[in-house]
Amino acid sequence: MVKVRAARAAEAEALTGLVMRSKAHWGYDAGFLAACAAELRIRPDEVTARRIVVAEDPQHGVLGVASLEGAAPLATLGLLFVEPAAIGQGVGRLLYREVLRRAVEQGVRRLVIDADPHAAGFYRAMGAVPVPAAGRDATPGPAGTVAGGGPASTKPGWPGALVRFEVAPAPLADWARAWTGGGRAVHVGNVAEFNVQFADSSLDREQSAAHHYSCLAAFYSPLPSALVLPRAVPAGWTDLVGRQLGWTGVEVYDGLVERGPGLADAVRARPALAARLTGAGEPLVPWGLTRPFALLTGRPWRPGELRHESKAAAHGLFERILADGGHPGIVLPSQVRAATRWAAARLLTARARAGKSTVVKSEHGVGGSGTTVVTAGQVRAAGGARAVLRRLPRGPLLVEEFVEGPTDPGAARDLTYDGFVDPAGRVHEVGAALMDVTEGAYRGATVGPGAVPERAEKPLLAFGAAVGRELASSGYRGWFDVDFVVDAEGRLAPTETNLRLTGPAIAFMVAARLDALRGAGHLVRIADRVELGARLPEAQVDELCADLARACGEIGAVFVPAIPTGAFDPAPWLGVLVAAHSPETLDAAEALVRSGAAAVGALFDAAPAAAR
């Protein structure tokens, strides 16, 4: 394994030779290289002052060199050169991330990179943001120290003209450190196990969807040590995710459940595995709390903690908070629990006669399952409310006022607050997200700077924190969210709480990791379902994902396959994450991924034609 260490003064001459070989790799002529030589030389007395580090292979061979130069809060990536034979093997990525880590430790908040044009694609893929010439100031740090470049005096149009980038080094977010202590954690993908606690008929009894969503266990914290999964996942998937998110040494225990939802029980049935997972001193993070998980971890089981997973209980909680005042930007839709289907039909009929739409909900349900919006026209077309209700899941129904949204179809409609209650009962705010909800069904979410309209963010965060305090006082400990819809006047209407991890939670985790790995300010979007144009063998799925990762990297974005197992369904699909530093690049990356995924079917259409 390649490791990074501080350079030694005695290595200065050898490191200068590496730098010059790396520069020559790009085909510059002897005259240009001679002009670079003085500025690229590393002197023994500079090694410590320039904070020079090297990448070393297991045989102690030096594969690359980098430096962090200048003083906080502004510094320069002075050198980053890789031995030509090692280019493309991840050495540059390792050195770059190490420099960013050290920059955070030094208090650097702005890192400038003047890059050789041949290295520009690398820095863009690593998350550095290009700086237009008009926006540049003087290069900080010692003159002539350029990352992969040549003389600092090189002018546009000359060979090796430099390309400027900047990055904002950032520590791991405070909330992420509080979530798992800032260290590694064991992730337990018990999605199905969580769902079956609620015995709601709107949920898939086979829990096939839940087993797909268990793949999100890879992202239950910013830094996993082990993934525990019910179904087998492709080995290539975990390798790619690890490269994209800078993970090493992640153990994968998959294929533990052949049928049914019992993942924690399956672990307990393997005493050696249970001892390994629980005895490492690392926190175990589940999708949500269950009795089997409590038995596995020795955590006290308090089923009452989860009572606000009920949509009726959550509505009551919202009522109590709003009764105290202090949340003028929040409006609560009326809700009635129908004792019988006859009662639900009467309520639905009365609202339809008044021309009003209605939300009909099951007591529980995930991702929008069990929630149906019924218009007055639909009631008439079906021949009455009873006919509509016959199509809905059995069990208790909640009849709720439908909140009309903004007239602007492009305005934000569905928002969510994410936070968690730590073991001591303290509430930690994670943030707000914009959700993609279509016909009542959750499709994905976007988190990061500017994702939520500024007008909505303040009341959303204040109300979400109030819900967190109430949950904490009721005894709940763990992740939670509060979902909202925006009404026609721009006010927020809370609709439910979820006492578990969710898709937006996964996006927040990845954003925290990427900010620490690539610089602050990432927007992250999770898309639950990206349709594939054809069902592919596992090796081709790995190849497709690697191609999408490269293509996104070329535009400065990050692609991470989040749910790979859907690719093997009869109607194949992928769950994906994309990230970027700007909304435009984020949208471009999503479009690139969707078109690339859809196009795989054309490969099979073209093959017979080529054979003719």
Instruction: Examine residue 299 and state whether it is found in any structural domain, yes or no.
Output: no
Q: Indicate if 368 and 351 belong to the same structural domain.
A: yes
Neighbours of 314 (CB within 10 A): 23
Collapsing DSSP states into helix, strand and coil, what is residue 468?
helix
37 and 104 assigned to the same domain: yes
Domain boundary among 367, 401, 435: 401
Structural domain boundaries, residue 241: 171-288
> The CATH number of the domain where 494 resides is what?
3.30.470.20
Q: Are residues 396 and 426 in the same domain?
A: no
Helix, coil or strand: residue 258: coil
CA distance 544 to 537: 11
Instruction: Tell me, yes or no, whether 414 lies in a domain.
Output: yes
| 305 DSSP assignment | G
Q: Residue 450 falls within a domain, yes or no?
A: yes
Neighbours of 311 (CB within 10 A): 23
- SS3 category, 34: helix
Q: Are residues 68 and 161 in the same domain?
A: yes
- 221 and 312 both lie in a single domain: no
Shared-domain flag, residues 485 and 576: no
Q: Are the C-beta atoms of 305 and 289 separated by less than 8 Å?
A: yes
Q: Domain end: 167, 192, 209, which one?
A: 167
What string of H, E and C letters represents the secondary structure of 10-63? HHHHHHHHHHHHHHHCCCCCHHHHHHHHHHHCCCHHHCCCCCEEEEECCCCCEE
For residue 550, give every residue at least 6 positions away whose Cβ sits within 8 Å of its Cβ, in sequence order, or none.
Answer: none
Question: What's the pLDDT score for residue 160?
Answer: 58
**CATH classification of the domain holding 349:** 3.30.1490
Domain count, the chain: 5
Backbone angles phi, psi at 331, to 5 degrees: -130, 135
- Is 572 part of a structural domain of the chain? yes
What does the block give as tokens for 63? 């594969």
**Final residue belonging to a domain, choices 498, 513, 545:** 498
Do the Cβ atoms of 53 and 67 come closer than 8 Å? yes
Domain-embedded: residue 506: no
Q: Looking at the domain assignment, is residue 514 inside a domain?
A: no
- Quick: pLDDT tens for 98-150: 999 999 999 999 999 999 999 999 999 999 999 987 555 654 443 333 455 54
Same domain, 379 and 273: no
Alpha helices in 298-399 (DSSP H): 311-323, 341-353, 376-382, 385-390
Query: Do 56 and 154 belong together in one domain?
Result: yes
Task: Report yes or no on 509 lying in a domain.
Answer: no
What's the confidence (pLDDT) of residue 151?
Answer: 46
Ranges of the chain whose pLDDT falls below 50: 139-146, 150-157, 607-612
Residue 157, domain member (yes or no)? yes
Whether pTM exceeds 0.85: yes
What angle (nearest 5°) sits at the alpha carbon of residue 248, between those of residues 242 and 253? Answer: 75
Q: Are residues 43 and 105 in the same domain?
A: yes
In terms of domains, do 111 and 12 share one?
yes
pLDDT of residue 205: 64
Are 528 and 443 members of one domain? no
To 10 degrees, the CA torsion angle through 228, 231, 234, 239?
-10
Positive/negative CA dihedral, 240, 245, 248, 251: negative
Instruction: Identify the H or E element spanning 124.
Output: helix 120-125
Does residue 321 share a domain with residue 268?
Answer: no
The greatest distance separating any two alpha carbons of the chain, rounded to the nearest whole angstrom, comes to: 90
